[in-house]
Amino acid sequence: MARTAIEFRNVSKQYANTSQYAVAGVNMRISEGSFITILGTSGSGKTTLLKMVNRIYEATSGEILYFGEHIKNLKLEEYRRKIGYVIQQVGLFPHMTVEENIGAIPQILRWDTDTIANRVNALLELVCLSPRDFKKRYPRQLSGGQQQRVGLARAMAADPDIMLMDEPFGAIDAITRQNLQEELIRIQRKLNKTILFVTHDVSEAFKLGDKVVIMHEGTIQQFDTPYGIISKPANEYVARLIATQDIVQRLKVLKAQSVMLPVDAQVSDRAFRVGTEESLHNILTYFLEHDQNHVLVEDGGRGVVGKITWEQLKVSTRQGKILSA
């Protein structure tokens, strides 16, 4: 079992001079190494929830625990250095080079110069920027996408356990955003960081998150895997929100086993075999590319357990749409 990295216990936040709670009674456990996306419309409290974790905002009531410790008992600056923080506006220091920006915290931690230089190089490579070309540049000499890469590298400088990201790719064009998303997924797999990622983009939330938190008016509507949310939306609000997803996106999170028809034991068919976890999107692609009308679903040791036909994929897609519309 993974440890709990962050736990919210009945956390609420009410800003001064407001009558409503921005976040109300949130309970949630986030296990170490998971990639959590926080999804909701504007004003739903996503940013507020995120910023209470690194105490940019203080919770009005309730508690937040960091690996079991109350964050209020931890020394603020030391605690924050264990938490990477990336925001949409990036906030690079304009008067410092890329190298100095990334090296700021390591320098405060009194790492020696060589260690810092190596760390900077490694991080730049991790975010796909060539150290030789970029180290000595100033932020204004970078494109928006490159700035956000540096922002990401800077946030990881002191090897934090947890990363908080508030719409980091919100101001970036669609293609660059896709690259960044894929890189982030790769980095997360590689380094096993716990990530809390705020977005209002449904497909981004579903693409990145192992689990998605859906927020509305300061409360959590559903906290589940993308598959869990799409196949069983907890309420009307969630159903409406995911209905904005296009079919292709939804097929990406639906798995073969959710729609397959059981088959009688012996199948000697030479049709293409897929795993139970295969996404319906890939199966659809296979149908379209190979002029086939069915595939068999195999479950590791148990052999063939089901079958998916072209007709049936169409029907379940349509049903899926009705389900969440």
Partner 1 sequence: MITYLVKYYDQMLILLLEHLYLVCLSMLISLLLAVPVGLLIARSKWLSTAILSFFGVVYSIPSLALFSFLLPAFGLGKMTAIAVLVIYNQYILVRNTVTGFQSIDASIIEAGYGMGLSARYMFLKIQLPLALPIILGGIRIATVSTIGIATIAAVIHAGGLGVLLFDGLRMNYLPKILWGTILSSLLAYLANHILLSFETKAIERARGECRGDTA
Ligand X SMILES: Nc1ncnc2c1ncn2[C@@H]1O[C@H](COP(=O)(O)OP(=O)(O)OP(=O)(O)O)[C@@H](O)[C@H]1O
CB nearer partner 1, residue 86 or residue 296: 86
Helices (H), the chain: 46-53, 76-81, 98-108, 113-126, 131-134, 144-155, 174-191, 202-208, 226-231, 236-243, 247-253, 256-259, 280-290, 310-324
How far is residue 14's CA from residue 60's CA, in Å, rounded to a whole number? 6
Binding segment for partner 1 (CB under 8 A), chosen from 90-98, 194-202, 264-272, 295-303, is 90-98
Of 90, 123, 215, 253, the residue at the interface with partner 1 (CB under 8 A) is: 90
Rule CB under 8 A: say whether 100 interacts with partner 1. yes
Query: Per CB under 8 A, which of residues 42..61 are in contact with partner 1?
Result: 54, 56
Can you tell me whether residue 294 is helix, strand or coil? strand
Q: Please choose, from the candidates 280, 180, 174, the residue with its C-alpha nearest in 3D space to the C-alpha of residue 230.
A: 280
How far is residue 217's CA from residue 198's CA, in Å, rounded to a whole number? 15
CB nearer partner 1, residue 93 or residue 272: 93
Rule CB under 5 A: say whether 47 interacts with Mg ion. yes
Of 2, 10, 15, 315, the residue at the interface with ligand X (CB under 6 A) is: 15
Partners of 304 in beta bridges: 298
Question: From its phi and psi, is residue 300 left (phi > 0), alpha (psi between -120 and 50) or beta?
Answer: left
Query: Per CB under 6 A, which of residues 162..221 are in contact with ligand X?
Result: 200
Q: Choose the contact partner of 200 out of partner 1, ligand X, Mg ion, none; CB within 5 to 8 A by kind.
A: ligand X
CB nearer partner 1, residue 138 or residue 237: 138
- For the beta sheet containing 162-166, the strands, ordered from the edge strand earlier in sequence to the opposite edge, are 83-87, 162-166, 194-199, 35-39, 211-216, 219-224
Binding segment for ligand X (CB under 6 A), chosen from 46-54, 90-98, 178-186, 238-246, is 46-54
Q: Tell me if 64 sits within 8 A of 7, measured CB to CB.
A: yes
Rule CB under 8 A: say whether 260 interacts with partner 1. no
CB nearer partner 1, residue 135 or residue 255: 135
Rule CB under 6 A: say whether 40 interacts with ligand X. yes
Of 154, 177, 250, 307, the residue at the interface with partner 1 (CB under 8 A) is: 154
Rule CB under 8 A: say whether 124 interacts with partner 1. no
Of 12, 34, 37, 44, the residue at the interface with ligand X (CB under 6 A) is: 44
CB nearer partner 1, residue 191 or residue 271: 191
Binding segment for partner 1 (CB under 8 A), chosen from 78-86, 117-125, 173-181, 271-279, is 78-86
Q: Please choose, from the candidates 222, 183, 227, 185, the residue with its C-alpha nearest in 3D space to the C-alpha of residue 206.
A: 227
Structure token digits, residue 189: 């797999």
How far is residue 63's CA from residue 310's CA, in Å, rounded to a whole number? 50
Q: Choose the contact partner of 289 out of partner 1, Mg ion, ligand X, none; CB within 5 to 8 A by kind.
A: none
Can you tell me whether residue 85 is helix, strand or coil? strand
Total number of residues binding ligand X (CB under 6 A)?
A: 12
Of 6, 23, 92, 202, the residue at the interface with partner 1 (CB under 8 A) is: 92
Q: Please choose, from the candidates 165, 91, 153, 86, the residue with its C-alpha nearest in 3D space to the C-alpha of residue 124.
A: 153
- Those residues whose C-beta lies under 8 Å from the C-beta of residue 114, and which sit 6 or more positions away, are none
How far is residue 75's CA from residue 170's CA, in Å, rounded to a whole number? 31
Query: Per CB under 6 A, which of residues 16..35 are in contact with ligand X?
Result: 18, 22
Residues making contact with ligand X (CB under 6 A): 15, 18, 22, 40, 42-48, 200
Which residue ranges make up the site for Mg ion (CB under 5 A)?
A: 47
Binding residues for partner 1 (CB under 8 A): 54, 56, 76-81, 83-85, 87, 89-97, 99-100, 104-105, 108, 136, 138-141, 151, 154-155, 164
